[in-house]
Amino acid sequence: MISMQFLRSLGVAGAVTGVLISSHAFPQSSVANRTHRNVLFNDMPGFVLSQVRALGDRVSRPGRETTILNGRFQDQSGNPAAARVTLVLPQSVEIIGLKPGNAVLKFDSASPPIPTDPADAVLLETFSTDTAEGFLSSIKDGGEVEIIGIGMEPFGSSQPNSPAAYDVFAVHSPVKTRSDRLTRTKYYYFDSATGYLMKTRYEHDRNEVEVRFSQWHREGRDDRENRADREDGSAYPGRIERFENNQLVFSFDVLSVMARPQSDGDANR
């Protein structure tokens, strides 16, 4: 249950809309029956179109359903490791480089989750559910979403380079990476000006979790040359950090990005 202290720490000021959107207000698709053509977020309700457009081509046009992020992972003790994170729309993840012998840490949203080590479960949930893609996927699957506020100004102390205003949503849905189907309420904070996800907040084992996304940048489509067209490309975060009770648990710095079409070998078929 979300504590009152945690709710007070939402860190936004302004009129709270409290609009609860019905999970049946827009088309739903069966997780088991998804095909290549409907893993995209091109049938989303109007109130999240800003977030869809911010991510760009990779979530709305065929050909970039799989994203490969190569980067540097660092744990809370400062130990670094080279890691590769592969994200497959709508909400699947594969992580290589953090387990002994290059073992693969994997979650397939088209299949039932299997019990896993608690630390591994945290990684899978962070990279699959706490992201902007995870936010959109939870809504697409019928999770209850509440518009906390649009264009809400933060108050009190804020992080450097934080947005002037946030669009804040609460989503109540099962955590698909967990075999016990635990249901959480997560608060997603998007930059009102750009539509980029800045942070995701929720409670986990009585810890207050904040996953931060920063250094957003756009990658142009390969077949485009001029700058104006490249602005229609895809956006990716350059850094992902997980904090629990304001203590850094891990960070992931993205050093390179590659996007490709979904293939039969990917998690979602």
Tokens representing 10? 């939402």
Domain count, the chain: 1
Render pLDDT for 235-249 as a digit per residue (tens, 0 to 9). 999 999 999 999 999
In this structure, is residue 250 part of a structural domain?
A: yes
In this structure, is residue 266 part of a structural domain?
A: no
Render pLDDT for 57-88 as a digit per residue (tens, 0 to 9). 999 999 999 999 999 999 999 999 999 999 99
In this structure, is residue 268 part of a structural domain?
A: no
> What's the CATH number where 54 sits?
2.50.20
Q: Where are the beta strands (DSSP E) in the chain?
A: 19-21, 66-75, 80-88, 92-96, 104-107, 144-152, 166-174, 183-191, 197-204, 207-214, 217-219, 234-236, 239-244, 247-260
Domain, as residue range, for 171: 4-260
The pLDDT > 90 percentage for the chain reads: 63
In this structure, is residue 267 part of a structural domain?
A: no
Give this prediction's pTM.
0.85
